[in-house]
Amino acid sequence: MQSLFIDYVYLVLIIIGLIMLANKLCIAYPIVLVLGGLALSFVSAFSHITIDPELIFFIFLPPLLYEAAWQTSWKEFWKWRRIIMSFAFPIVIITSCVVAFASNAIIPGFTLALGFLLGGIVSPPDAVSATTILRQVKAPKLLVSIAEGESLLNDASSLIVFRFALAAVITGQFHLQEAATSFLLVIVMGTLIGLTIGFIFYAIHRWLPTTPAIEIVLTLITPYCMYYAAEYFHFSGVLAVVAGGLLLSSKRQTMLNYRTRLEGVNVWTSFVFVLNGLIFFLIGLQLPSVTNQLGDISVGTAIGYGLAVSLVLIIVRLASTFGASLFTRFMSRFITVADANPGWKGPMIFGWSGMRGVVSLAAALSIPLYINQNEPFPHRNLILFITFIVILVTLVLQGLTLPWVIRKVNVEEPEGSIPEQQQEKIIQKKMAHYSLQFLEEKYGEHLIDNEHFNNLKTKLRTELDHFNRSLVEQEKYIDHSLNDFHNIYFELLDEQRRILNKMNQKAEFDEELIRKYHSLIDIEELRIREKRIEA
């Protein structure tokens, strides 16, 4: 046990080094980690490290999904909901069907049920790789928002397809009507369970006497409770975590205090950094064990199958994204859509951003070894190998070329959107304006003969005149020993939070920028409270 722990310490150190190398080379770190793990798989010292699929699904997947939901803007998610839904459900199902028929046609002895099983495994793109690259090349915000939203739902839909296909292989039976009903039930009940547990944890955060440390621990426990509760009743644990995470993310300003929000971000950033690094590195480490399990099928033949399935996936995703664009233009004649003319640039980028990752490998590894006590699961090892080839090909080929595609396509922000720099200036100006208005209307009598309030008023007026300066640069010479001033200033900060929440309800403001200024206010409150304690 101690030796295994030390091995993982070494792995984390290697991962950190590879991520620094990826940053130096300006390459998305999942690509470098998979290739690094692949190279290290030939070193005997690490050849015994394998992935336990139950560990991936229960230990790794819930917090990664929860963090993704926490970072996703509900406003952007709802704005692009039709595109996200089309990517997450119809495209995943179409991809699974095409892979099923294609693999049934080209692989001898591969039944249609096994084809759907493989399709459910390889259909969901990996969100971490795509969003990492999109952010690196500073792609338009709408592309990142849609990619993040898609990632929250496509894993759930693909795993549901995988679950039904696995049952069909094991039992030898498949009833379409029963499967469709069960599909809807799994989705609806998984979502309801996630929302229910989300409300329970919201109540704990909101009304029980917690501390920042307790609240951060509760956020770490929450996704596991959501996932386990849904899976216990055989519903979608993935959708439970996604639904609950989106709910609690929208309630963060009322659920958590300023200290928890600041400290929690640091904890979660480090936690997810290690989890993502380990997962992608472990994917690369699996090559020898996967290759050794091919049995009678030669490695060259298996590679050919993997390349064929990879080509099918790339073509189907490109065709599906362009088809979704055309369908959106058609439907815009009858309903209001977020973008009536998506064009070809956005679909081209989304079509090429279909890298596969951890969910696909974890699903493949979770296939049982035996259908019953005496009958091995058919083509299990081949499915594992094809999945590994698909991950490797899509990550390296599409991952390395996606930045080039984005630059060549040169997609622009949609018409009517305000540039980010201008949004910042508007936010700062409005915060200064309404802060002055709040002080003068509610505490005007204090401003007459109180030097500290006059100083604050002067500073806010300066902020209004020079609204490109940061809020956190204010108040360096305030006397922090004055309790009266502090209490009113904290009330002012709460008023600024209210102003930001009100601005966030308007479509022209980016929620990520709004959150940035929420964080600046939290930092300002923390700074003053810490100095108040020291005084």
DSSP string for residues in 127-165: HHHHHHHHHHTT--HHHHHHHHHHHHHHHHHHHHHHHHH
CA distance linking residue 261 with residue 277, whole number of Å:
24
433 with 355, same domain: the answer is no
Query: What is the rounded CA–CA span in Å between residue 109 and residue 378?
Result: 9
Kindly state whether residues 169 and 282 are assigned to the same domain. Answer: yes
Indicate the range of 77-91, 188-202, 221-235, 454-468 predicted with least confidence. Answer: 454-468
Mean pLDDT, residues 364-391 taken together: 84
Cβ atoms of 61 and 426 within 8 Å: the answer is: no
For residue 200, what pLDDT is reported?
96
| CA-based end-to-end distance of the chain | 49
Range of the domain at 523: 420-534
Residue 471 included in any domain: yes
- Asked whether residue 257 is assigned to any structural domain, the reply reads yes
Q: Which of 409, 436, 464 is the last residue of a domain?
A: 409
Give Cα separations from 393 to 46, 124, 389, 425 (angstroms).
Answer: 23, 15, 6, 44
CA distances from 76 to 49, 137, 211, 313, 419 (A): 40, 20, 31, 27, 16
pLDDT average, residue stretch 393-403 = 86
Select, from the ranges 57-66, 165-174, 338-347, 492-501, the one with the highest average predicted confidence (pLDDT): 492-501
List beta partners, residue 163.
Answer: none
Q: Check whether residue 389 and residue 450 sit in a common domain.
A: no
* Backbone conformation region of residue 14, classed left if phi is above 0, alpha if psi is from -120 to 50, else beta: alpha
Higher pLDDT: 178 or 241? It is 241
Q: Is residue 108 located within the same domain as residue 167?
A: yes
- 141 in the same domain as 195: yes
* % of the chain beyond a pLDDT of 90: 17
The answer to whether residue 415 sits within a structural domain is: no
For residues 71 and 214, membership in a common domain is answered with: yes
Confidence band, pLDDT 50/70/90 cuts, at residue 477: very low
Instruction: Identify the pLDDT of residue 21.
Output: 92
pLDDT of residue 474: 39
Question: At which of 381, 409, 437 does a domain end?
Answer: 409
The reply to whether 461 and 336 lie within a common domain is: no
Produce one character per residue of 60-89: b if its CB has 16 or more CB atoms within 10 Å, e if not. Answer: bbbbbbbbbbbebbebbbebbebbbebbbb
In a domain, 162, yes or no: yes
Task: Output 524 or 478, whichever has higher pLDDT.
Answer: 524
Cα separation, 322 vs 343, in Å, equals 9
What are residue 342's phi and psi, to 5 degrees? -65, -25
Handedness of CA 182, 187, 190, 192 (dihedral sign): negative
Say which amino acid occupies 162: F
Distance CA 131, CA 511 (A): 17
Residues 6+ apart with CB under 8 A from 126: 30, 151, 355, 356, 357, 358, 359, 360, 395
Cβ of 370: how many Cβ atoms within 10 Å? 11
Q: What CATH number did the domain enclosing 321 receive?
A: 1.20.1530.20
- Measured in whole angstroms, how far is the alpha carbon of residue 413 from the centre of its chain? 22
| 29-40 and 380-393 helices, crossing angle to 10° | 130
**521 part of a folded domain:** yes
pLDDT for residue 243 is more than 70 = yes
pLDDT at 219 over 90: yes
Partner residues linked to 370 by β-bridges = 376
Residue 442 has pLDDT above 50, yes or no: yes
pLDDT for res 176: 63
- Residue 481, pLDDT > 60, answer no
State the total domains in the chain.
Answer: 2
Average pLDDT rounded to a whole number, residues 266-291: 82
What is the mean pLDDT of the segment spanning 508-528?
85
- Please identify, among 387, 409, 431, the residue that sits at the C-terminal boundary of a domain: 409
Amino acid at the residue 16: I
pLDDT score of 362? 77
Whether residue 145 is predicted with pLDDT greater than 60 in this model: the reply is yes
**pLDDT attached to residue 228:** 93
- Taking Cα atoms as reference points, which of 23, 24, 26, 27 lies closest to residue 395? 27
37 located within any domain: yes
Average per-residue pLDDT in the chain?
Answer: 81
- Considering the domain architecture, whether residues 378 and 443 belong to the same structural domain is answered as no
Both tokens of residue 370? 């035996």
- Is residue 414 assigned to a domain? no
Tell me the three state secondary structure of residue 376: strand
Q: CA-to-CA distance for 515 and 115, rounded, in angstroms?
A: 44
Comparing 97-111, 186-200, 396-410, the range with the smallest average pLDDT is: 396-410
Please say if the pLDDT value at position 471 is more than 50. Answer: no
Are residues 388 and 481 located together in one domain of the fold? Answer: no
Burial 309-324, CB ≥16 within 10 A → b, else e: bbebbbebbbbbbbeb
For residues 303 and 186, state if they share a domain: yes
CB 212 within 8 A of CB 257: yes
Same domain? For 249 and 206 the reply is yes
Give the pLDDT band (50/70/90) at residue 455.
confident
| Domain match, 339 and 485 both | no
Q: Which tens digit of pLDDT belongs to each residue from 289-321?
A: 777 777 778 888 999 999 999 999 999 999 988
The pTM of this model reads 0.75
Highest mean pLDDT among 2-11, 142-151, 230-239: 230-239
- From the CB of residue 458, how many other CB atoms can be counted at a distance below 10 Å? 10
User: Residue 163: pLDDT above 50?
Assistant: yes
Helix (H, G, I), strand (E, B) or coil at 370: strand
360 within a domain of the structure (yes/no): yes
